[in-house]
Structures are given as structure tokens and as C-alpha cells.
Amino acid sequence: MKCPLCQARAEGRITTPPPDVKTYRHCGFCDLIFLEGPYPARDEEHRRYLEHENTPDNTGYVRMLESFLKQAVLPYINEGSALDFGSGPGPVLADLMADIGFDVAIYDPFFAPCPDVMSQQYHLITATEVMEHVFYPCHVIAELNHCLLSSGILALMTHFHPGVAEFINWWYHRDPTHVMFYSLRTMNWIACHFDLTMLKTDKQKIITFRKN
């Protein structure tokens, strides 16, 4: 089966035990782990995203996004145009960025599907808790890269997988809409392939790139 990121043949196979039996593939080349299939249907995805309590009233969620901005964004950029990709049902991060002074656009295939937004270029693009949901990460990253101005910042948050041996017991794949799992090695592959410079990572879930 072809890796949906680097297109190499993903030979490794990981099957989770009952009751929730699912098969994942591991790409030995870029270290991506991905669900073999079937992928969640669009209406199931939509329903699940509405259940996420990602609202301004959820103080834990707001605090997590503030921490993300403080670590991954503000050391590198604090003004200009910004796109929050995968903004979700309530654009909390976009509001926080607008408060800082960014000129913020949002895009979300379910909740803000305005195609014009994806034909512009931005100084900053954020995608928090998004990359684990995408079915074709190579296309999505190429699209985001295309939407970045030269020297623009791309800041991502997605939990890095713990390696093949630990994967079965890991909590993050239990959400049925999580289908793609990256590691630091995967992020290095992305930097190399898309000509990005890795500026910062906590090696757990946060990573910041600059477009060269």
C-alpha cells in the first residue's frame, strides 16, 4: 500500500486488538503511520467534530491554544496575514490571533469552506489538531505551502506517534476520525520535501516551519 505522504510502499502493518480492531500501515521511509481503511464517512466526521468541545468557554482548550501561540508562533511572527486551516465549528484560535493583531482568515472543509481563502497567500498558517484528520497529507501540505508567502511561518499541532512498538497502546488513535500519525522523522521528511526550515519543535505535538 502506498504511503499517502511520501508515496513509498508502506510495508509495516499494525493491527489493534478487539473490540476495536483496526489495521494501520507504517511507512519505513517517512515514518508515517496511517489507517489502512475504511476512512470515516463525511457525515460521521461532521457529527464528531460538532461533539468536540472546542469553544471559548472551554478554558482548558483556550489555555492549550494560548500555549501553542506562545511556543510555536509568537517567537517568530506577531503581525501580518494569517490563515487558521481546519478552524473547526468555533474559530477560537482565529479569535485569539485576531486579538494579538493578525489579520485572520479561516478555512475548514466542514464549517468555513470558502475556496477563495485557499487562493490567497499568508504570512502565517496554523493548523491545530488537523493533520491527524486529513486523508491525503501530501496534498494538504502542498496546498498549505502554496498558500504561504516566502519566509512565511507554518505552525502545526498534532500528537507525534510513539513508534510502532508502542502504537497499539497509544490513546490518540482511539478517536475514529484520527487517521494519520506523524513523528519527528516524518516532520523532517516534510521539511526536506517541501523546502521548509524547521524552527522549533517540542518533539511531542508542536512544530514550526519557515518557508525557504
- Which stretches of the chain bind Zn ion, using CB under 5 A? 3, 5-6, 8, 27, 29-30, 32
Gap between the Cα atoms of 151 and 154, Å rounded: 10
Identify which of residues 123 and 161 has a Cβ nearer to Zn ion in the complex: 161
- The amino acid that residue 7 corresponds to is Q
Cβ-contact 104, 79 below 8 angstroms: no
Q: How far is the CB of 160 from Zn ion (least distance, A)?
A: 15
Q: For the chain, how many residues are written?
A: 212
In this structure, how many other beta carbons lie within 10 angstroms of the beta carbon of residue 19?
5
Cα(117)–Cα(128) distance, integer angstroms = 18
Nearer to Zn ion, 35 or 153 (CB): 35
Residue 200 CB-density burial (10 A; 0-12 exposed, 13-18 middle, 19+ buried): middle
Q: Looking at beta carbons only, is 5 or 112 nearer to Zn ion?
A: 5
**Minimum distance, C-beta of residue 32 to Zn ion, in the bound complex (Å):** 5
Residue 173 C-beta: closest distance to Zn ion, Å: 17
Query: What is the Cα–Cα distance from 71 to 84, expressed in whole angstroms?
Result: 16
Take residue 166 and report the three cell numbers written for it.
Answer: 508502542
Non-local (6+) Cβ contacts of 188 within 8 A are 198
Please name the residue that has the C-alpha cell 504561504: 148
Q: How far is the CB of 129 from Zn ion (least distance, A)?
A: 21
Strand partners for 23 = 15
Rg, Å, the chain Cα set: 17
Nearer to Zn ion, 126 or 186 (CB): 186
Minimal distance, residue 8 CB to Zn ion, in Å: 5
Task: Specify the residue, 27 or 73, whose C-beta has the smaller distance to Zn ion.
Answer: 27
At closest approach, how far in Å is the CB of 6 from Zn ion?
3
Q: Which is nearer to Zn ion, 186 or 208 (CB)?
A: 186
